[in-house]
């Protein structure tokens, strides 16, 4: 090595952080599998995950079992990302809550906007409850298929920040189309309004998918602490600062912002729909959404951003094929670790490090966990279709039937604060580890309880309605009235599904981020979101039950599926629950731009290589 001094600028050009990095060897002149750090250029003029905070005081095995665990601080940049999510959810839910009435009910007599006044029923297309439920499910399906595309684009090509900006533009275009579909001169033409509405719905799904795959990983990236460390508080107590707890709090407050956005969007838009018309109800959600790119732009230099890493899926499938081809008896990912493959035998695509193989193994385990989520989402999806239609046949007393959906976000907003400030700290102070697998299991059972409440409610509707088991027949309702049950009785299923969301849905987002490789987080997050799309596809099979007189059977069957899902989930994944700390403490891969990684022992060689090139 040269005696010349190597400064931080040399380190930067070598893409080697000053702290130690784990990875595969820098094989100068190795040919296949070698790393060309000299050709890698930073894609962002912002901080990257390499700037993560490092602490030397790693907890011992004894400390892991004896010391209380706390959250680390949450950076203010994370709150700006959360506000952007709030704006997008205001936009999305403020529009999607209108879909059921727009599709199911006919245009009120004499109305050119769909508005019906205090005691009327807003509507537009008059296609019936089955069509409304079917299109609502399709909306959820397509909106949660598109994250697979958004995740791949962000991880491989554009990065999360740029992809989110594209998503916002697509979303704004979608709102313009929906406004056009409900304009007074269009809404009176059922064929034209239907066509424009479906185009707007599809466009909004594209924007939502690109956005949802990337906004929560961008938020969680703002936590710079990746490993546990011991800290002594001002009181003298020694505690473990656990990034898993920090991430749990980040995702709780992320979901709080989601529900504040959806709550304000839904409450305001259902009244606009009822008293003014659909065109204004689709227009207003766009206004707050327009503020989102401005906030992101002015904070761009404060964000920690992961640069895209090229064709990461290609590398994954190469590694999968290599492991299968070289298996000895049983499938073992360890055969694909570079440390187990001689340099001269390594293929050109093997530029990752051993740690990345471990991260991929962990990510695949997380994806297996997600396979149970469709059984949860079958119950959750009743809220946006069938429960809204159920409210329409109860005594509304001037309350819009789609207003009741807001009982769900209201309960979530309240419960998140209670859980974060009271329940979770109490459990940790008593040494009770309420791990992600336990939380998700409990959520399944709350979802099942919600469907029990919905089934009981539907039973009494049929019993008390003058129309009997045809309680949603518009002609019968006009002639004979509705069931003598107050609409606010629906508070029980909505609150129970809200509790289920916090335990299962929020935790699954946290789990997806925590267990995915750094350069595949958007993709793994999109797989998590795709489970909702899969549930919507399964839900299409239930649409024949989404009408009178079969709705009690609909809720009962979904109750059974959600309960069995919770039981199966726990017995399949309780081993992951026991190994939660070990999975969270894996070494972090250093693979960044161009899918390359470096070895601590090779840092000096890389730096000298760059330094010599300068000469």
DSSP assignment string, 226-272: -S-EEEE-TTS-EEEE-HHHHHHHHHHHHHHHHHHHHHHHHHHHHHH
How confident is the model over 343-373, as pLDDT tens digits?
888 888 888 888 888 888 888 888 888 889 9
**Residue 604 within any structural domain of the chain:** no
How confident is the model over 493-551, as pLDDT tens digits?
999 999 999 999 888 888 888 777 777 777 788 888 888 888 878 887 887 888 888 89
**Residue 611 within any structural domain of the chain:** no
How confident is the model over 62-106, as pLDDT tens digits?
888 888 888 888 888 889 999 999 999 998 888 888 888 889 888
Lowest mean pLDDT among 36-40, 160-164, 609-613: 36-40
**Residue 337 within any structural domain of the chain:** no
**Residue 237 within any structural domain of the chain:** yes
Q: How many domains does the chain have?
A: 1
3-class secondary structure per residue, 473-497: CHHHHHHHCCCCCEHHHHHHHHHHH
Question: In the predicted model, what is the mean pLDDT of the chain?
Answer: 80
Which CATH number does the domain housing residue 97 bear? 1.20.1250.20
Residue 234, both tokens: 């001002």
**Residue 543 within any structural domain of the chain:** yes
pLDDT computed for residue 32 by the predictor = 38
pLDDT interval class at 331 (50, 70, 90): confident
Q: Helices marked H in 505-602 — which ranges? A: 507-515, 521-539, 551-578, 580-584
**Residue 363 within any structural domain of the chain:** yes
Share of the chain above pLDDT 70, in %: 84
Asked whether the beta carbons of 93 and 381 are under 8 A apart, the reply is no
Q: Which residues contact residue 485 at a Cβ distance below 8 angstroms, ignoring those fewer than 6 apart?
A: 394, 395, 457, 460, 461, 464
Lowest mean pLDDT among 158-162, 183-187, 584-588: 584-588
Task: Considering only residues 131 and 200, tell me which one the structure prediction assigns the higher pLDDT.
Answer: 200
**Residue 573 within any structural domain of the chain:** yes
pLDDT computed for residue 25 by the predictor = 34
**Residue 332 within any structural domain of the chain:** no
Please give the residue range of the domain that contains residue 527: 61-299+354-584
Give the mean model confidence (pLDDT) for residues 315-329.
83
Q: Which residues contact residue 281 at a Cβ distance below 8 angstroms, ignoring those fewer than 6 apart?
A: 94, 95, 98, 182, 269, 270, 272, 273
Tell me which H or E stretch contains 96: helix 76-96
Number of CB atoms found within 10 A of residue 608's CB: 17
Lowest mean pLDDT among 51-55, 348-352, 439-443, 465-469: 51-55
């Amino acid at each position: 090595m040269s005696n010349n001094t190597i400064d931080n600028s040399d380190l930067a050009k070598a893409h080697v952080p000053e702290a130690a990095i784990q990875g595969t060897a820098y094989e100068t002149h190795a040919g296949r599998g070698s790393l060309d750090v000299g050709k890698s250029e930073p894609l962002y003029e912002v901080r990257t995950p390499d700037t993560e905070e490092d602490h030397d005081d790693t907890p011992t095995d004894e400390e892991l079992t004896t010391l209380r665990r706390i959250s680390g601080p949450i950076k203010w940049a994370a709150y700006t990302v959360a506000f952007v999510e709030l704006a997008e959810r205001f936009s999305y839910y403020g529009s999607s809550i209108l879909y059921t009435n727009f599709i199911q009910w006919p245009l009120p007599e004499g109305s050119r906007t769909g508005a019906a006044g205090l005691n009327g029923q807003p509507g537009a297309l008059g296609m019936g409850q089955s069509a409304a439920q079917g299109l609502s499910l399709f909306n959820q399906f397509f909106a949660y298929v598109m994250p697979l595309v958004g995740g791949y684009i962000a991880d491989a090509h554009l990065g999360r920040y740029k992809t989110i900006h594209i998503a916002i533009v697509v979303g704004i275009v979608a709102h313009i189309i929906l406004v056009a579909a409900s304009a007074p001169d269009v809404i009176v033409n059922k064929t034209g309004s239907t066509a424009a509405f479906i185009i707007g719905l599809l466009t909004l799904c594209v924007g939502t998918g690109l956005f949802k795959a990337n906004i929560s990983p961008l938020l969680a990236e703002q936590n710079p602490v990746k490993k546990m460390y011991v800290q002594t508080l001002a009181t003298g107590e020694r505690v473990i600062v656990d990034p898993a707890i920090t991430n749990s709090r980040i995702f709780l407050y992320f979901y709080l912002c989601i529900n504040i956005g959806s709550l304000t969007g839904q409450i305001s838009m259902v009244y606009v729909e009822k008293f003014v018309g659909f065109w204004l109800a689709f227009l207003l959600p766009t206004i707050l959404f327009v503020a989102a790119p401005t906030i992101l732009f002015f904070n761009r230099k404060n964000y920690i951003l992961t640069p895209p890493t090229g064709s990461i899926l290609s590398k994954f499938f190469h590694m999968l094929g290599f492991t299968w081809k070289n298996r000895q008896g049983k499938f073992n990912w360890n055969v694909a670790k570079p440390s187990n493959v001689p340099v001269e035998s390594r293929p050109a695509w093997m530029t990752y490090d051993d740690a990345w193989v471990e991260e991929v193994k962990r990510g695949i385990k997380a994806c297996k966990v997600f396979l149970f989520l469709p059984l949860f989402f079958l119950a959750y999806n009743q809220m946006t279709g069938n429960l809204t239609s159920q409210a329409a046949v109860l005594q509304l007393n001037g309350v819009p039937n789609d207003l009741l959906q807001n009982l769900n976000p209201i309960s979530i907003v309240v419960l998140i604060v209670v859980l974060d400030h009271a329940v979770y700290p109490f459990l940790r102070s008593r040494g009770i580890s309420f791990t992600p697998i336990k939380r998700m299991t409990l959520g399944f059972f709350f979802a099942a309880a919600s469907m029990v409440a919905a089934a009981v409610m539907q039973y009494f509707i049929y019993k008390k309605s003058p129309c009997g088991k045809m309680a949603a027949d518009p002609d019968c309702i006009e002639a004979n009235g509705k069931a003598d049950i107050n609409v606010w009785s629906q508070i029980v299923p909505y609150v129970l599904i809200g509790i289920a969301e916090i335990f299962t849905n929020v935790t699954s987002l946290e789990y997806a981020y925590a267990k995915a490789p750094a350069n595949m987080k958007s993709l793994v997050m999109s797989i998590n979101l795709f489970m909702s799309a899969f549930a919507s596809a399964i839900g299409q099979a239930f649409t024949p039950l989404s009408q009178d007189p079969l709705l009690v059977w609909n809720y009962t069957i979904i109750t059974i599926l959600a309960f069995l899902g919770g039981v199966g989930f726990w017995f399949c994944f309780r081993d992951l629950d026991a190994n939660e700390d070990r999975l969270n403490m894996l070494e972090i891969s250093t693979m960044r731009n161009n899918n390359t990684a470096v070895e601590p022992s090779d840092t000096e060689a890389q730096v000298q290589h760059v330094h010599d090139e300068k000469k």
